[in-house]
Amino acid sequence: MKILVIDIGGHHLKVLASGQTESRKTPSGPEMTPARMVEEVKALADGWEYEVVSIGYPGLAGDVGPKSEPGNLGEGWVGFNFAAAFGLPVKIINDAAMQALGSYEGGRMLFLGLGTGLGSALISEHVIVPLELGRLPYRGGRATLGEVLGRRGLKRLGESEWKKRVKEVATRLMEAFLADYLVLGGGNASHLKELPHGVRLGHNHTAFRGGFRLWGVDDVPVLDPDAHHHDPPAKPEEWRLI
């Protein structure tokens, strides 16, 4: 199966197809609507062969696609028919969950995506649990974890203090979730060099690996160009999304 993976971020849109070694990207931002995203992706992927599409979406995603509008992009994502727009079967999952899927190496893993905001997901024994840890209050509720550990927090606190906060939160969350290890991904993870025990960095192609693996996750419905979606198989063989 030849897969095109789309990683939608608040600042960049990235794509990679099966058999390719170099990803391609273009700026995103507040003007990026779903229709424009499809146009940009088709242009970026020109010359590549692909039969199905995986999308990492920066927000809540359900059986028929996005369940909420993204905070850093244009509008119109909820209810948009991605399969019809591409003319191909599509699977959509939260972008942090897709990165987590690509980072997973067994056991119980907690993933934190340090980007525009804070993405998060837990995988335990091949069960994928998307999380919204960025909404949790931080130190008395004057800010959320997303506001502190996201891009705005980095700019407001400065790199040195921001790195201290990331390490503190990572350690406590790993303990709270009884995680065997924690993976830090996202564009701002590169600021971190020295990490607490049990914490490691993801790499640039982690999200794409997750997008390729996504077609082995039977519980994620397939959005079809001819029908709004197919029900997933009743008995997944290995992966489960809850």
Q: 191 and 106, same structural domain? A: yes
Q: 180 and 108, same structural domain? A: yes
Kindly report the CATH number assigned to the domain that includes residue 87. Answer: 3.30.420.40
Residue 67's contacts (CB-CB under 8 Å, 6 or more residues apart) are: 59, 60, 61, 78
Question: How far apart are the C-alpha atoms of 198 and 59, rounded to whole Å?
Answer: 27
Q: Is the pLDDT of residue 228 over 60?
A: no
- This prediction has a pTM of 0.89
Q: What is the mean pLDDT of residues 91-118?
A: 94
Residue 139's contacts (CB-CB under 8 Å, 6 or more residues apart) are: none
Q: 80 and 102, same structural domain? A: no
Q: 81 and 50, same structural domain? A: yes
30: Cα separation from own chain's centroid: 18
Q: Which domain does 132 fall in, by range?
A: 98-204
> Residue 112 — pLDDT band, cuts 50, 70, 90?
very high
Q: 88 and 170, same structural domain? A: no
Q: What is the mean pLDDT of residues 174-188?
A: 95
Q: 214 and 127, same structural domain? A: no
Per-residue confidence (pLDDT) for residue 126, from 0 to 100: 86
Of 17-31, 57-71, 185-199, 214-228, the one with minimum mean pLDDT is 214-228
Q: Give the chain's domain count.
A: 2
State the sign of the Cα–Cα–Cα–Cα dihedral 11, 188, 15, 89: negative
